[in-house]
């Protein structure tokens, strides 16, 4: 997994550096241009992520590290999916309904056994957040198709 992460960083660094070439290194008046920083940061990123990637790759090849699924990976993936859906539906359902459903979903992932407690928290936490941020602090929560 580590090598995959450093590999992704390495590929990103190469892309960032190539993209950096699109901007002028020196501008029309001979001064340092908008491409100066992107290029140098990109080059340094390629160097450092390259070192990290090849170091990690060496470990994988030498020790034949096999991929072990982390124990709580499912919980993390489900939480991530719930958060993704929550953000996607924020403008559609409106903040209040989306928050209630989101908190309920999160508790269903982590605390499946206690449905009554989950239901109470699913209503009180979003309501508290709504009253604090939207009513008191005028945060401007999205209203969605239901108008609230």
42-50 LR contacts (CB < 8 Å, sep 24+): 42/13, 42/16, 42/17, 42/18, 43/17, 45/9, 45/12, 45/13, 45/16, 45/17, 46/10, 46/13, 46/14, 46/17, 48/13, 49/6, 49/9, 49/10, 49/12, 49/13, 50/10, 50/13
Tell me: does residue 93 bind other proteins (CB under 8 A).
no
Closer by beta carbon to other proteins, 83 or else 146: 83
The binder of other proteins chosen from 11, 18, 21, 24 (CB under 8 A): 24
The binder of other proteins chosen from 14, 52, 57, 101 (CB under 8 A): 52
Measured between alpha carbons, how far is 23 from 77 in angstroms, rounded to an integer? Answer: 38
Alpha helix locations (H) across the chain?
A: 2-20, 36-63, 73-93, 95-110, 115-129
Shortest Cβ 142–other proteins spacing (Å)? 8
The binder of other proteins chosen from 97, 133, 143, 144 (CB under 8 A): 133
Tell me: does residue 65 bind other proteins (CB under 8 A).
no
Q: Which residues bind other proteins (CB under 8 A)?
A: 2, 5-6, 9, 16, 19, 23-24, 27, 30-34, 36-38, 41-42, 44-45, 48-49, 51-52, 55, 70-73, 75-76, 79-80, 83-84, 86-87, 90-91, 95, 99, 102-103, 106-107, 110-111, 121-122, 125-126, 129, 132-133, 136-142
């Amino acid at each position: 997994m580590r090598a995959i992460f450093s590999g992704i960083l390495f590929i990103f660094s190469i892309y960032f550096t190539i993209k950096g070439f699109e901007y002028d290194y020196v501008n029309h008046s001979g001064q340092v241009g908008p491409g100066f920083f992107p290029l140098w940061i990109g080059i340094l990123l390629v160097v450092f992520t390259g070192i990290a990637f090849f170091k990690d790759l060496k470990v994988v090849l030498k020790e034949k590290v096999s991929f072990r699924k982390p124990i709580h990976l499912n919980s993390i993936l489900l939480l991530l999916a719930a958060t993704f859906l929550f953000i996607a539906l924020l403008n559609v359902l409106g903040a209040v309904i989306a928050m209630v459903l989101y908190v309920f979903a999160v508790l269903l992932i982590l605390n499946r056994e206690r449905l009554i407690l989950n239901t109470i928290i699913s209503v009180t936490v979003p309501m508290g957040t709504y009253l604090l941020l939207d009513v008191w602090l005028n945060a401007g929560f999205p209203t969605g198709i239901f108008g609230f």
